[in-house]
Structure 1
Amino acid sequence: MSTSSPEKIAVVGGGSWATALVKILCEQPQVQIRWWLRSAEDIAHIRTYHHNPSYLSDVYLSPKKVKVCEKLRDAVKGADYVILAIPAAFVQEPMQELTSEHLRGKRLVSAIKGMVPDCNQLVTDWVERVFEVPLDDICVIAGPCHAEEVALEKQSYLTIASTGQSCAEDFARLITCRFVTANPLTDLYGVEYAAVMKNIVALACGITHGIGYGDNFQAVMVANAMQEIRRFVTAVDPRERDLSSSAYLGDLLVTAYSQFSRNRLFGNMIGRGYSVKAAQLEMKMIAEGYYAANSIHSMNKNHGVDMPITEAVYRILYQRAAPAQEMEALKKYLK
């Protein structure tokens, strides 16, 4: 793509990760951003005060770079890239405003680390199917990276994965800035499934911490979880990949251990005796691992992969199994 004229980026979503991505893109001199948010109050506040009052409120959003939009069609009109940064469980509703024609000729970027629950599809597969976007024009943003550290301008690393080499390379260049390094990768499905599953693992880590298990147990569980991820990803998309690299292992570790991990926080609340509904209400944020546990459990009915950690989390969340009993039973599977 030409570097002589500004790249036009549409960002869809108003949460912390969407806000962090807007901040990163504002670092680029040749970028113009149209940002769609659901909340009319947040839109009005951003126009007046140039920061998101609901998420990462200390981040300044340049009015010269960012235009907020009430209508999604206005945001994507004329865009070169459309970045989806809505929780997977809620991505379908706002996207109903669009047709395949609205996304024709655009590159689609998924910043969503989850699966569309109704169809148990990766977001990239769902976009390809529903909006007829060519797979080579779709990429995903993977970590290891938390929005809160982007807001603080701490050095961060991203992986941009696509089946199309040029798509991954072009967007990696676009999102690299003074405090973010982005690297391209062509393992779209491996990166995306690993990102989905690491949220389940982080949730499991939170549960064990809430019950009272220590760091020793958690380290063993995370090591076993990496093998669980390897088995599942190989079953659904067999190919050579180095799961010890940052796109896979790094993303798992930061989500499993970070104070900013909402999945770990959600799991911790479940381990301390909260019901799923009570934990969701108190967090006021979406833990993708909750929905991912059901989607991966459903998918695995066709693959039959040995996944004791994922299944334990599924039973706790969806069958109301006692967390302490499930973690006690899990001990015999860990090595």
Structure 2
Amino acid sequence: MATELKYAVFGGGSWATAIVKMLCENLQEVGWYMRSEQAVEHIKTHQHNPSYLSSVEFNLSQLKLSNDINETAIYADVLIFVIPSAFVFDELKKLTVDVSKKTIVSAVKGIIPETGLLVGEHFHDNYKIPFENIAVIAGPCHAEEVALERLSYLTISCADAKKAQNIADALSSDYIKTKISDDIIGTEYAVMLKNIYAIAAGIAHGLGYG
């Protein structure tokens, strides 16, 4: 059961906020790391993210908020990273606790500029996380649609099917439907490349190339 494990989200943007909302549908408590102390205090006072998806109100009794990345990493069994790829490298420098036995989940689009690695590869190479303990969350799904509770879909990829299903169960609801896959690398590349292909298709269409 997903509820037997503790989950935490790392990130303070719209997609991170949406994932916290999804998890709160199923879990009694969710860890949430945000680097901004002001954002953490705002949520504790006003029950919503001050900058992203402000219409989403949280039950504070379900949130374990912190601006200490290590505190949140120690708390959870499943660590979901939703930090923009350009900032992942610097944020992970702050991560000093042992996470080698944790399940690492990437909801990050793109590669890490400093290493040229996908997020899953970075954790495998630098934190000795076996690939069966690494998962990827992909769409098609938009944070704004989650906020409005519109029907959306997620793909959860992990070499360990049991872990993939556990994560899928933690995220599923009446408005979030999930499927699982065992192709971590393919899913990460699909997440990264789909926007590039979409832009290229738009340019081609604008130039009248069909």
Q: Is the Cα contact below 8 Å between 2:152 and 2:176 reproduced in 1? A: yes
Determine the C-alpha separation between the residues in 2 that align with 1:75 and 1:150. Answer: 24
Distance 2:75 2:39 in 1: 24
Q: 1:119 to 1:59 in 2, by over 3 A?
A: same
| Displacement after TM superposition at 1:43 (Å) | 1.1
Tell me the residue number matched to 1:191: 187
For 2:41 and 2:75, the matched residues in 1 are separated by 23
Cα RMSD (Å) = 1.8
Contact 2:2–2:167 (CA under 8 A) maintained in structure 1: no
Select 2:69's aligned residue among 48, 67, 72: 72
Q: Aligned partners of 1:86 and 1:205: how far apart in 2?
A: 27
**Conserved in 1, the CA contact under 8 Å of 2:89 and 2:114?**
no
Is 1:115 matched with 2:111?
A: yes
Is 1:153 equivalent to 2:157 in the alignment? no
- Report whether the alignment pairs 1:164 with 2:160: yes
Structure showing the higher strand proportion among its residues = 2
**What is the percentage of aligned positions where both structures have the same residue?**
42
State whether residues 162 and 185 of structure 1, in contact with CA within 8 Å, keep that contact through their aligned partners in structure 2.
Answer: yes
| Structure with the higher fraction of residues in helix conformation | 1
- Cα deviation for residue 104 of structure 1 reads 2.8
1:58 is matched with 55
Q: CA deviation at 1:165?
A: 1.5
CA distance in 2 between counterparts of 1:40 and 1:105 reads 28
SS at match of 1:178: coil
Alpha carbons 2:154, 2:177 under 8 Å: kept: yes
Residue aligning to 1:41? 38
Choose from 134, 144, 169 the match for 1:138: 134
Which residue identity does 2:90 align to in structure 1?
Answer: E
Checking the alignment, whether the CA contact within 8 Å between 2:9 and 2:31 is kept in structure 1 is yes
Pairwise CA distance, 1:144: 0.4
Structure-2 separation of matches of 1:108 and 1:191: 15
1:276-310 residue CA offsets vs partner (Å, 9 max, x unmatched): xxxxxxxxxxxxxxxxxxxxxxxxxxxxxxxxxxx
Query: What per-residue deviation string (whole Å, max 9, x for no partner) do you get for residues 239-287 of structure 1?
Result: xxxxxxxxxxxxxxxxxxxxxxxxxxxxxxxxxxxxxxxxxxxxxxxxx
Distance in 1 between the 2:203 and 2:65 partners? 38
- 1:19 CA drift (Å): 0.3
Consecutive unaligned residues of structure 2, counting only runs of 5 or more, are none
Q: Give, in angstroms, the shift of residue 102 of structure 1.
A: 2.6
- Equivalent residues in 2 for 1:220-235 (5 A)? 220=210
- Listed as ranges, the matches of 1:200-239 within 5 Å are 200-205=196-201, 207=203, 213=206, 217=209, 220=210
Give every structure 1 segment of 4 or more consecutive aligned residues whose post-TM-superposition deviation is greater than 3 Å: 205-209
Partner of 1:18 in structure 2? Answer: 16
Report the CA distance between 1:208 and its aligned residue. Answer: 5.7
Distance, in Å, in 2 between the alignment partners of 1:174 and 1:67 is 17
- TM-score, scaled to structure 2: 0.93
CA contact (8 A) 1:9 1:31 kept: no
Q: How many residues get paired?
A: 210
Distance 2:28 2:162 in 1: 19
| Aligned residue in 1 for 2:93 | 96
Bigger relative contact order, structure 1 or 2, given CA contacts below 8 A and separation 6+? 2
The superposition leaves residues 48-98 of structure 1 with CA deviations (integer Å, 9 ceiling, x where unpaired) of: 001001001101111011121010011111311000000111101111122
Name stretches of at least 5 consecutive residues in structure 1 with no aligned partner.
221-335
Q: Give how far 1:112 is off.
A: 0.6
Give the superposition deviation at 1:2: 7.2
Structure 1 residue 203: deviation in Å?
Answer: 3.1
